[in-house]
Amino acid sequence: MTTYFERIDEQRFIATEAVQGAWNTDEQHIAPVLGLIAHVIERDRIARAGDGLRLSRISYDILGVLPIAEVEIAVRVLRPGRTIELVEATLSHDGRPAVLARAWFLAAGDTTQIAGSALPPFPADGFQPWDGSTVWPGAFIGEAQVDWIPDEPGRARFRVHPTVPLLADEPVSATARTLGFLDIANGISPRLRPEDAHYPNVDLTAHLFREPSGAWIGYDTAVSFGPDGRGLTHTVLHDEHGPFGTSSQSLTVRPR
């Protein structure tokens, strides 16, 4: 069975060809790496203190590119607590830090009676298949199962149907699985095709107000380019039950 990573030991993993990137096919697409980091952080928290806290926000700073090779993840607690905890994780390759992540965990409680959101609803139909191979190279995009409603350049609503497991023979939470696909937003709704400009993201931050569920992840995405080389990809995240959070990516925009 194809997976994105294979576990070597508690901290080390080997990437498979399924993570092949879009900007450079000799490098990893950053999306699966972000899911792997979330998975390791969640496992560390449960091993230390059970699962009484829920991941509320995770921010990733992308410090460099990653070859399709072995990576190592180290986790440390910055702010311990019974109801609020801040955790940091560093993913490295060959001793060089490549991704720095910080995650807030908050205490779970029953707020069913006051739950709700004013975020706009997601379409129930009108989607059509999206063939990523017509825009991007690389195995990660090539294997992605996506349908979408293209509104205009830089604006789209789409659903991603994860089919490749993050790891073999290891349970992965719906949250970690979802976080492993959020970075795809910047490539499915671009303002320009990649042959016209480079616009990689240097970070990704996700805020979650409930656990995602279901067979697909919904994205309501808008991409903005400023006049001086900066950009932003912003997404409201949905599943079949409605919105569950947001994600944002800072872009460095470089016309060709």
pLDDT in tens for each of the 256 residues of the chain? Answer: 589 999 999 999 999 999 999 999 999 999 999 999 999 999 999 998 877 899 999 999 999 999 999 999 999 999 998 899 999 999 999 999 999 999 999 999 999 999 999 999 999 999 999 998 889 999 999 999 999 998 899 999 999 999 999 998 899 999 999 999 999 999 998 999 999 999 999 999 999 999 999 999 999 999 999 999 999 999 999 999 999 999 999 999 999 9
pTM: 0.96
Distance CA 145, CA 136 (A): 14
Phi, psi of 97 (to 5 degrees): -60, 135
Closest CA to 183 of 161, 155, 202, 211: 202
